[in-house]
Amino acid sequence: MSTTTEAHFRFLYQGYVLQFLADLMTATIDAATAATFQHAVQSYCDDLRPWITPTEVTTHTVFSLFADCTSNEATDVMTVNLSPEGEAFFLAWMRRQAVMMKSGNAVGHAH
């Protein structure tokens, strides 16, 4: 039996975060204004709320999904750090994805 190394775990985590962000971008791609974008993000988060555990529930009515987001133009690499609320929604997304994969539904979220 092999053990997963910390580096391998970080690699897998980053890959899933990337899928989570791609799913979020897909849900918001048709938003033409700031208001429609905010509505799309809110709908996306509302769809994930049933998957959030009681210990992860945020009491904030307004929050950012990201604690930090930077882009290095020289390397074309973007770094995203999830906020505590963003992490809760990411974990909710992971739970939903696990159930969808187990039930044979396609990975992804359609709005």
| Residues 18-31 pLDDT 10s | 999 999 999 999 99
* Position with higher pLDDT, 90 vs 11: 90
44-100 confidence digits (pLDDT tens): 999 999 999 888 876 666 678 888 888 888 888 888 889 989 999 999 999 999 998
Give a yes or no: residue 43 inside a domain.
yes
Q: Which residues pair with 69 in a beta bridge?
A: 80
Per the structure block, which two tokens stand in for 93? Answer: 């997304």
The predicted structure's pLDDT at residue 111: 39
> How many domains does the chain fold into?
1
Enclosing domain of residue 71: 6-103
Task: Give the separation between CA 88 and CA 35, rounded to whole angstroms.
Answer: 24
Give a yes or no: residue 108 inside a domain.
no
Give a yes or no: residue 109 inside a domain.
no
Cβ-contact 47, 26 below 8 angstroms:
no
Task: Give the separation between CA 30 and CA 33, rounded to whole angstroms.
Answer: 9
The predicted structure's pLDDT at residue 89: 93
Residue 55 CA from chain centroid, whole number: 18
Per the structure block, which two tokens stand in for 7? Answer: 């580096």
DSSP for residue 39? H
pTM reported for the whole predicted model: 0.75
Give a yes or no: residue 79 inside a domain.
yes
